Amino acid sequence: MSIQRGLRLWDALRHVNHKQWQEMKEIGGASASCTVLSGWDEGWGNVLMRRALSVLLAAMIAAVAGGPLAGTAVGVQSQSVDVWVEVATANPGVGCFVDTSIEVRGGGASVSGADVVLTLSDDADSTIYSSDRGVTDDAGIVHLGYDTSATGSGTKTWLEVVVNGSYVGGRTVMVDGDSCSGAPSLLDMSGEVATISDGVVDSPVEGAASSDAVIIPGVSAYPQQRSLSCEYAAVSIATGALGSWVSEYDMEAVTPLSANPHWGFRGDINGVWGNTDDYGIYADALIPGLNLFGFQGHSFYGNPADLMSSIDQGRPTLVWLGLWGDLSHDEYTEDGSRFQLTQAMHVMVAYGYDSSGVYLSDPGTGQYRYYDWGTFNSMWQVMDGMALGVSW
């Protein structure tokens, strides 16, 4: 299946209405079962949509996984996990930040380094009100939260959990209470999620002991300063590794705004991550700013071999990823130019690789990450392998 055919199939799937999803409940199987406690429910429309997406992604990965890495990157591996989510209250008021703890376990053991996203959205039109992301610690636990400030009294919302890019469950949250805590509620879920080899590493060279590892030195782990400044923060990480740190604020100051992210930054940099109105910027639009600070930008749409070549040349390389899979749609400028927007788009800096995977600095969490080739490529090809190598 070509990526283009895959995207057309996904576009058709995402227009299936809620009634049709309800009629399809019985095909769901048990791969993403959800045991509900204290009023939690499954949200079958989203569950089935994610399952359809998983099938589509598997076909897309098969289409792009060939080439020089076909022997080592045979696709995304998965693992069965149990996920426990505890929120401080199930009925918050407007203006609350509700503390939420999430524990991920697989085969009875803690799963450390799992990438977890907690999102609160409108139950009717899917507008994203709040999104928080983190990685599990050695005990398999991450502490996140959701913010109801953008909602109104009586708003019906949907709170969902995504682990390693796989939807594992959610619940309805009514914003009709008068407190932000004091009535904890628990959700117990299980499902199949992508396996990420050594998801979080403590140093830029941890795990790079194999003879085939190629690592660019001097790469820092830097957390972005605004909710949607990952591209500018990634520029800071890349230029810092080359010896002259360009701050994300300086890059922002010389970069135009545009509804088309190929031309400039789309939306409010302080907006909520995960949606496509307040969004970000693509590779080519960053090059003029890099040039003003004396750097060169080398944009490409590629495959693992192209990424390895960029790193081999000593170029810290920004990579655009679809962390939730292919939740993309097309929009058009007034002159008819088409561009893709993808929910949960994120940018990291690739600074090394070996035969098994890719080493990255993630400004979203301020940590070093390591993805196996299959996991990485599945997220990267959502964005058509968009990348930007940085050099003097």
Q: What percent of the chain has pLDDT over 90?
A: 55
Are 190 and 205 members of one domain?
no
Are 249 and 384 members of one domain?
yes
Are 168 and 21 members of one domain?
yes
Are 19 and 168 members of one domain?
yes
Among the candidates 142, 170, 194, a domain finishes at 194
Q: Tell me, what CATH number does 354's domain have?
A: 3.90.70.10
Are 218 and 163 members of one domain?
no
Which of the four pLDDT bands, split at 50, 70 and 90, describes residue 183? confident
CA distance 239 to 320: 17
Model confidence pTM above 0.75: no
Question: What are 305-354's pLDDT values in tens digits?
Answer: 999 999 999 999 999 999 888 889 999 988 899 999 999 899 999 999 99
- 23: CB partners within 8 A, 6+ apart: none
Are 138 and 177 members of one domain?
yes
Are 207 and 325 members of one domain?
yes
Among the candidates 152, 172, 194, a domain finishes at 194
Are 147 and 249 members of one domain?
no
Q: Give the total number of structural domains in the chain.
A: 2
Predicted confidence at residue 32, as pLDDT, reads: 33
CA distance 308 to 327: 27
Among the candidates 164, 194, 224, a domain finishes at 194
Range of the domain at 63: 3-194
Question: What are 201-249's pLDDT values in tens digits?
Answer: 666 666 554 568 899 999 999 999 999 999 999 999 999 999 999 999 9
Are 171 and 227 members of one domain?
no
Which of the four pLDDT bands, split at 50, 70 and 90, describes residue 77? low
Tell me the average pLDDT across 10-36: 34
